Amino acid sequence: MSELVSFHEIQTTDSEALKTEITNSLLQKNASLSPKFLYDNLGSHLFDAITLLPEYYPTRTEELIFQEYADSITQAVGTNRIFIDLGAGNCQKAAQLFSQLTPTHYFALDISVQYLREILPKLQGQYPQIHMAGVGVDFSKKLLLPDAVPKSERIFFYPGSSLGNFSTIEAIDFLKQIKEQACDGGLLFGIDLMKDAPILYQAYDDPLKVTAAFNLNILRVVNHLIGANFAVQNFSHQIVINEELMRVELYLESLQNQVVSWPGHQRVFQVGERIHTENSHKYTLNSIETILEEAGLQSQKIWQDPKNWFAVIYAK
Assess if residue 1 is contained within a domain.
no
268: containing domain = 15-34+196-281
- What was the pLDDT predicted at 223? 98
Cβ atoms of 165 and 152 closer than 8 Å: no
Whether residue 208 sits in one domain with residue 147: no
Same domain, 191 and 46: yes
Residue 22 CA to residue 140 CA, distance in Å, equals: 14
Q: Are residues 113 and 147 in the same domain?
A: yes
Binning pLDDT at 50, 70 and 90, where does residue 2 land? very low
Q: Is 242 a member of any domain?
A: yes
User: Looking at residue 138, what is its pLDDT?
Assistant: 87
Q: Does 168 reside within a domain?
A: yes
- CA distance linking residue 115 with residue 54, whole number of Å: 24
* Residue 1 pLDDT: 41
What's the number of domains the chain is made of? 2
Residues 155-211: tens digit of each pLDDT? 999 999 999 999 999 999 999 999 999 999 999 999 999 999 999 999 999 999 999
Which residues have a Cβ under 8 Å from the Cβ of 66 and sit 6 or more positions away?
73, 93, 96, 97, 312
Give the tens place of pLDDT for each residue, 33-48. 999 999 998 999 999 9
Q: Cα separation of 117 and 137, whole Å? A: 14
In a domain, 92, yes or no: yes
* Cβ–Cβ < 8 Å for 103, 129: no
Distance CA(65)–CA(52), nearest Å, equals: 17
Task: Say yes or no: 124 and 263 in one domain.
Answer: no
CATH of the domain at 311: 3.40.50.150
- The answer on 222 and 162 residing in a single domain is no
**Rounded Cα–Cα distance for residues 120 and 90 (Å):** 8
Q: Of 121, 98, 103, 86, give the one whose Cα is nearest residue 7.
A: 121
Measured between alpha carbons, how far is 93 from 95 in angstroms, rounded to an integer?
5
Domain assignment present for 19? yes
**Spatial CB neighbours of 177, under 8 Å, sequence gap ≥ 6:** 142, 143
d(Cα 152, Cα 145) in Å, to the nearest integer?
Answer: 13
Tell me the helices (H) and strands (E) count for the chain, helix number first: 10, 13
State whether 46 and 159 are in the same domain. yes
Query: Are residues 213 and 272 both part of a single domain?
Result: yes
Same domain flag for 47 and 141: yes
Residue pLDDT, tens place only, 298-316: 999 999 999 999 999 999 9
Residue type, 223: N
Residues 27 and 46 in one domain: no
Beta carbons of 266 and 260 less than 8 angstroms apart: yes
One domain for residues 24 and 112? no
Considering the domain architecture, whether residues 286 and 189 belong to the same structural domain is answered as yes
Q: Are residues 270 and 234 in the same domain?
A: yes
The answer as to whether 75 is a domain residue is yes
